[in-house]
Amino acid sequence: MTFLAFFFIVVSLVSFVAAQLILKRAMEATKSAGFRNAQFVWKVIGGVILMTISFFLTLGLLQRFDLSYLYPFQGLSVIFITLMAAVVLKEKLSVRLTIGTLLISAGIVLVSLS
Partner 1 sequence: MGTGHRPVATDSPQFENWLRRFDRALEKRMQDRPSGFGNPWLQLALSVACVLVSEFLLKRGATQVADIGSAWSWTGVNGLASPLVWWAILLIVASFISWLYVLRYIPITIAFPLSRVVDILVPLGCWIFLGELISPLRWCGIALVVIGLALVAKPIAQIEERL
Binding site for partner 1 (CB under 8 A): 4, 8, 20-21, 23-24, 26-28, 30-31, 44, 51, 55-64, 67, 71, 74-75, 77-78, 81-82, 85-86, 89, 91-97, 99-114
Q: How far apart are CA 57 and CA 51, in angstroms?
A: 10
Question: Cβ 13 to partner 1, closest distance in Å?
Answer: 14
Task: Choose among 91, 87, 19: nearest CA to 52.
Answer: 19
Q: How far separated are the first and last CA of the chain, in Å rounded? A: 19
Cβ 51 vs Cβ 86: under 8 Å: no
| Nearest CB to partner 1, comparing residues 10 and 67 | 67
Question: Cβ 60 to partner 1, closest distance in Å?
Answer: 4
| Nearest CB to partner 1, comparing residues 37 and 101 | 101
| Nearest CB to partner 1, comparing residues 15 and 82 | 82
Question: Cβ 89 to partner 1, closest distance in Å?
Answer: 7
Question: Cβ 113 to partner 1, closest distance in Å?
Answer: 7
Tell me the three state secondary structure of residue 90: coil
Task: Choose among 87, 71, 88, 64: nearest CA to 4.
Answer: 64
